[in-house]
Amino acid sequence: MKKMITTDNLTELWARLAEESTLYLPVQDGPMVLFQPWQEGVQVDLEAFNSAVSPKDIFLPREETYLNYRCSGQALELDAVEDDRAITAFGIHPCDLKAIEMLDRVFIEQDPPDNLYQKRRENTTVVALSCTNPDPFCFCGVFDVNPLDAPGADVMAHLVDGSLHLEARTEKGKALLEKAGDLLEDSTVDIAKREVKTADFGLNVKGLPEDLKSRFEDPVWDELYKSCLSCGVCTYVCPTCYCFDVEDYGHEAKGERFRCWDSCMFGHFTQMAGGHNPRPSRKERVRQRFMHKLQYYHEAYGEIACVGCGRCLRSCPVNLDIVQAIKALGGEKVEQR
């Protein structure tokens, strides 16, 4: 069913959705737009490109406690933490939804699956939003993402002429539109007529993953890392990075075990007990990150782990982004490998 809602009615829609679920959407926070839970009075920006940090933290929070422990003498009590919230993820762009589907393979399509992630994902209704006006950092087309359509969405939304056009694609999506009920009108706009352009930097990544298989010792790696500052910006804004660390918070008698984001760009990421570090310098770390994106993930799941969201192009303080890496590795249309 194809429906539309005028932007004047959106606040009412969000208020309704937020009654029954935690509603995440792109919210203006100080100078930038981030995915945050809706509350009355927040400034939602559906036209923003792209949220400064990817919405992956809806499913893989920066930090989450998964176990509470209590110790008394020899007795140990463990309580697993459950997250049963219903969630609505509103305004997810096609690139970010594709990235979340890449995380699904890592966290759900495993034995055993990661039940915290899985539950959150199952309890979520995704309202994907096509791209009206991508910014100069967007290059999703290189990775076959269609900025006008997100195949995995429960509801596909399009912002056209001051109205939001909604199409339910799944049962969850239909249920969401039913809640919106009287706020909706029938939509007659032909979405197919729209056209959106994104950058491609002359990239051609076909064959690159296979090619990289034998290029672990390639001299490219001796140069590419030089400007890297060893900060974690690229990994933390990236929608397909998913590494985390586990730590305890508390003391012997009582506390919690939590996991939180970690970054392969940090020196201590691979620091082992006893002091050995298999990735001792920036070179090994930069190689790891780009090989993971362009080769290891592809080898495991058949796709390059980049969706062209452009966040590393925008945020890397020294512009050592994935486009530079792909170019250095020969992934260009003109160049012959």
Partner 1 sequence: MAERNLEQLEKIREVVSQDLLSGRIELLLGWEKGHYWWQSRPLFARSKDDLAKLTWDSFCAVNLSRYLLEELKDHQKVGVLVKGCDSRAFNRLLQDNMVERDRVVLYGLPCPGILDYKLLAAEAGPELKGIAEENGKIVLKTASGEVEVKRDQFLMAKCRECLYPDPVVYDQMLLEPQGKKEAPERFKAVDELETLTPEERFAYWEKELSRCLRCYACRQACPYCSCRECFVEQENPRWQGRAYQPSENFLFHLVRAYHGAGRCIDCGECQRACPVDIPLQELNRKLIKDINELYGDYEAGLDAELEPPLLTYRPDDPAAFSEK
> What is the token pair recorded at 71?
């110790």
Under the binding rule (CB under 8 A), the answer on residue 93 touching partner 1 is no
Q: Where in 225-244 is the site for partner 1 (CB under 8 A)? A: 226-227, 229-233, 235-237
Q: Does 53 bind partner 1 (CB under 8 A)?
A: yes
Under 8 Å between Cβ of 50 and 25: no
- Of 15-23, 27-35, 142-150, 160-168: span binding partner 1 (CB under 8 A): 27-35
Among 12, 63, 77, 299, binds partner 1 (CB under 8 A): 63
Q: What's the angle, vertex CA 133, arms to CA 189 and CA 31, rounded to 5?
A: 130
Find the shortest distance in angstroms from Cβ 229 to partner 1. Answer: 4
Number of DSSP helices (H) and strands (E) in the chain, helices first? 11, 12
| CA–CA gap between residue 323 and residue 334 (Å, rounded) | 15
Helix ranges restricted to H, 89-225: 94-107, 115-122, 171-180, 208-212, 220-224
DSSP 293: I
Of 20, 62, 213, 337, the residue at the interface with partner 1 (CB under 8 A) is 62
Q: Does 301 bind partner 1 (CB under 8 A)?
A: no
Q: Which is nearer to partner 1, 124 or 263 (CB)?
A: 263
Using the rule CB under 8 A, is 51 a contact of partner 1? no
260 contributes a contact to partner 1 by CB under 8 A: yes
Residue 324 interacts with partner 1 (CB under 8 A): yes or no: yes
Widest Cα–Cα separation across the chain? 70
Give CB contacts under 8 A, 24+ apart, made by 282-285: 282/225, 282/226, 282/228, 282/230, 283/221, 283/222, 283/225, 285/225, 285/228, 285/230
- Interacting residues with partner 1 between 262 and 281 (CB under 8 A): 262-263, 266-268
Comparison of 51 and 163: residue with beta carbon closer to partner 1 = 51
Nearer to partner 1, 62 or 337 (CB): 62
Nearest approach, Cβ of residue 234 and partner 1 (Å): 9
- Report if residue 315 touches partner 1, rule: CB under 8 A: yes
Query: Of 2-10, 113-121, 221-229, 286-294, which segment contacts partner 1 by CB under 8 A?
Result: 221-229
Among residues 6, 12, 15, 32, the one that binds partner 1 under rule CB under 8 A: 32
Q: How far apart are CA 324 and CA 327, in angstroms?
A: 5
Q: Does 27 help bind partner 1 (rule: CB under 8 A)?
A: no
Output the CA angle 7-8-11, nearest 5 degrees.
90
φ, ψ (nearest 5 deg) of residue 89? -105, 110
> Least CB distance from residue 317 to partner 1, whole Å?
4
The reply to whether omega before 112 is within 30° of 0 (cis) is yes
Question: Residue 213, interface with partner 1 (CB under 8 A)?
Answer: no
Alpha carbon dihedral 231, 234, 238, 243, in 10-degree steps, equals -40
Footprint of partner 1 on this chain (CB under 8 A)? 29-32, 34, 52-53, 62-63, 133, 135-136, 201, 223, 226-227, 229-233, 235-237, 245, 247, 249, 258, 260-263, 266-268, 282, 313, 315, 317-321, 323-324
